[in-house]
Structure 1
Amino acid sequence: MTASFKPGDKTVFHTHRFPVTVYVLEGAFTLEMEGRAPVTVTQGQAMVEPPNVKMTGYNRSTNDSLRVVVFYTSDPDTPFLDPLH
């Protein structure tokens, strides 16, 4: 699937039940994971989001948009993410 982020956009605080690979088409994607240092990947780079880790993803730019492709494999009825409150 693909996702687009405007400057300053972020995902909800969430977990995944399976690994998720994020490939950056445009811009820079920053992932903050509980208990870990933030990771930023830029255009042409990819990263794997680990399962069962609390996280949120950001477009930290104030000017540039962000476009990513997300790859994952899961059981058919498994939700993509589990939001946390």
Structure 2
Amino acid sequence: MKIINSAIYAVAILGALTVQAQADGYPAVPLLSTSKTVMDEEIAYPANGPAKINAMLVTILPGEKTVAHQHGVPLFVYVLEGEVTVDYGEHGKKVFTQGQTFMEAMAIEHVGTNVTSSPVKLLAVYLSAEGAKDVIPRQ
């Protein structure tokens, strides 16, 4: 019962904080809050140099796929349009659709594929650093 009450209390506080943020003129809509990637890896920030953010719009046309790759930095992804299927090899496949957000796998190689008849548009935000590799293609 104590755990349930604590969970209810935490949800109430989070709800109040969201209302408070909106009441203070900052109309934020939470998209994602996590400390792990989609493959349950702990998020680890690069320490190569000064912090740097790289934001990109990624478009995958119908039938296209990315190269097999990993990420040297945490990557936040927001699916703006369409549907992407990501193959994590022995870890399975995941399908992400419009409006979904996730922290992409870092050390697990993966390939994103558009198996639909419409383009996929992703907002990719790399939490990077000078000298860090955002994308590491398979050699």
- Which TM-score applies when normalising by structure 1? 0.89
2:77 pairs with 1:22: yes
Which residues of 2 match residues 6-85 of structure 1 at below 5 A? 6-61=61-116, 63-85=117-139
- Superposed CA RMSD in Å reads 1.2
Larger Rg computed on CA atoms: 2
Give 1 or 2: higher strand fraction.
1
Taking the aligned partners of 1:81 and 1:32, their CA distance within structure 2 comes to 16
Alpha-carbon distance in 1 for matches of 2:64, 2:77: 16
Structure showing greater relative contact order (alpha-carbon pairs closer than 8 Å, 6 or more residues apart): 1
Identical residues among aligned pairs (%): 31
Long gaps (5+) in structure 2: 1-55
Which structure: greater helix fraction? 2
Residue 72 of structure 1, CA deviation: 1.7
- Any runs of at least 4 consecutive aligned residues in structure 1 with deviations exceeding 3 A, and if so which? none
1:3 alignment partner in structure 2: 58
> How far off its partner does 1:47 sit?
1.6
* Structure 1: 5+ residue stretches without partners: none
Preserved contact between residue 7 and residue 65 of structure 1 (Cα < 8 Å): yes
TM-score, structure 2 length as denominator? 0.57
